[in-house]
Amino acid sequence: MRLNPEQLVFVTERHLATLTTHRADGTAHVVPVAYTWDAEQGVLRITTRRTSVKAANARRRGPDGEPPRVAVCQVDGGRWLTLEGTIEVVEDADEVADAVRRYAKRYRPLEHDPRRVVLRVTVDRTMSSAYMRS
């Protein structure tokens, strides 16, 4: 997934977004998150604790074993961008360290937390305001 130039700038500015996952009963769980965009891989990363509700929701597979689908929406006034895709929980130490480095560059340094994992969203669809379309 490639973002257009306006979208790419938007995902590097310091904004929060919302992450929408689904609980076991199918209802939406929407929380504010900080995330980073990896343009080379077309993925976004969110760091969280392995015991968080969003991590539990990300581990839950569909009836056919498919990974869960999620949406991340960033809004700033009339500009908005929604990134949709599948989510997975990654506990690999190298990927967690990479996500923490990326987070520090976009937001601020994080303290070490041995419970930290990465929610890795492979983006396959975007929607955006007219201001963000090329």
Q: Which domains does the chain have, with CATH numbers?
A: 5-130 (2.30.110.10)
pLDDT digits (tens, 9 = 90+) for 70-98: 999 999 998 999 999 999 999 999 999 99
- For position 48, what pLDDT does the model report? 97
How far is C-alpha 67 from the geometric centre of its chain's CA atoms? Answer: 15
CB burial class (10 A; 0-12, 13-18, 19+) of residue 89?
middle
CA 28-29-33 angle, 5° bins: 135
Beta-bridged to residue 87, according to DSSP, are 121
Residues 8-27 have a mean pLDDT of 93
How far is residue 27's CA from residue 91's CA, in Å, rounded to a whole number?
A: 26
In this model, does residue 1 exceed pLDDT 80?
no
43 close to 32: Cβ distance less than 8 angstroms: no
Q: Are 130 and 4 in contact (CB under 8 A)?
A: no
Band of pLDDT at residue 63, cut at 50, 70 and 90: confident
Tell me what percent of the residues of the chain surpass a pLDDT of 90.
82
Q: Give the confidence band of 126 by pLDDT, cuts at 50, 70, 90.
A: very high
pTM of the model: 0.91
List 79's β-bridge partners, or say none: 76
